[in-house]
Amino acid sequence: MADPGEPHIDMMRSPLGRARGLGAARAGSGHWWAQNVTAIALVPLSLWFICGMIRMIGASRADVMAWLSSPLPMVLMLVLIVATFQHLQLGVQEVIEDYVRTPSRKLVSLLLLKAAAVLLGLLCIVSVLRLGIGM
Amino acid sequence: MRDARDALMVARNTDGKLVSRPLSPHVLDYRWPLSGLLSGTHRITGLALGIGTLLMTWWLVAAAASDSAFAAVQWFLSSWLGILCLCGWTFALIQHLCSGIRHLAWAAVYGFDKPQYQASNWVVIAASAIGTVVTLIVGFVVW
């Protein structure tokens, strides 16, 4: 046992590793953090979305255009889409990582998931812009 | 003893007598804790909402595309299958929202003691049920 007065290292972890803060999974807390930030944003956004969808029951196409051409609903809808698809792909990623064991299948599922989230999200964004701006 | 599998289940006790080894109950025989059920429900409603985004995408894309495409999605949403989807979507969204707010509280290290989370289990269940029913009543009856 080294003399406590002597300079010594207690940690089995390099100062560089500690500064990077990425941990054993080499990804840090980025996934968890993004999931929670989007979750906080989605609390008021989903409540607004429920109200908006109730207003759109039985609406005509012109009603949808009129609703989404005001700046605030349009911006809120765009933010909702980005936050929803980001939160969704982070959540489903966790499910895939938990239950899909074969590494190749896991990789393919994750790639398909990311592709689907980007494509669906962009489809929604372009549609909202087209409805709102009338491109 | 009938076969190798049986042989593995037989042992001698301290008196030297042959006895069958004790078995723990099958995993499905245990009672699910309510918090565990809610955790599973949170995940399942999250996945269901993922399928729900397909419906949202269809609705937005159709509205942006043409009158006939929009008429098709509105026809589907007013069919019995569409209404079933909308009811399921409403429940999934509100359940995931209520349960998610509790997850955010837990992430802030609040309400993580056993008496607290056992009480908030019922708050989540009641809020999801009441929220779903109120939303459906407002949507289908009042509006």
Residue B74: alpha-carbon gap to chain centroid: 28
Cβ–Cβ of B104/A50 closer than 8 Å? no
Task: List Cβ neighbours of A42 (8 Å cut-off, separation of 6 or more).
Answer: A80, A83, A84, A87, B97, B100
pLDDT, tens digit (0-9, with 9 covering 90-100), for B55-80:
999 999 999 999 999 999 999 999 99
- Mean pLDDT, rounded, for A48-63: 93
Is the ipTM beyond the 0.90 threshold?
Answer: no
User: Six-digit token pair at B100?
Assistant: 């998610």
Q: What is the rounded radius of gyration, in angstroms, for the C-alpha atoms of chain A?
A: 23
pLDDT at B48: 97
Query: Distance between CA atoms of A27 and A111, rounded to whole angstroms?
Result: 17
Phi-psi region of B79 (alpha: psi -120 to 50; beta: other; left: phi over 0): beta
* Residue with more model confidence, B27 or A132: A132
Nearest to A61 among B67, B90, B103 (CB): B67
Counted domains in chain B: 1
Residue B68 located in a structural domain: yes
- Confidence band, pLDDT 50/70/90 cuts, at residue A18: confident
The CATH number for B94's domain is 1.20.1300.10
Confidence (pLDDT) at A3: 67
| Tens-place pLDDT, residues B95-127 | 999 999 999 999 999 998 999 999 999 999 999
Would the CB atoms of A128 and B64 count as touching at under 8 Å?
A: yes
**Which of B50, B61, B143 is nearest residue A92 as measured by Cβ atoms?**
B50
CB contact under 8 A, B143 and A54: yes
B16 within some domain: no
Cβ within 8 Å, pair B60-A124:
yes
**CB neighbourhood size of A25 (10 A):** 8
SS3 state of residue A87: helix
- Whole-number Å distance between alpha carbons of B67 and B49: 27
Pick the CATH number of A29-133 from 2.60.40.10, 3.30.43.10, 1.20.1300.10, 1.10.3720.10: 1.20.1300.10
Q: Is A118 on the interface with B (CB under 8 A)?
A: no
pLDDT(A1) > 70: no
Q: What is the rounded average pLDDT for all residues in chain B?
A: 92
* Contact assessment for residue A129 and residue B61, using Cβ atoms and an 8 Å cutoff: no
Q: Judge contact between B58 and B91, C-beta under 8 A.
A: no
Whether pLDDT at A83 is above 90 = yes
B97: containing domain: 39-142
Q: In the structure, what pLDDT confidence band is assigned to residue B28 with cuts at 50, 70 and 90?
A: confident
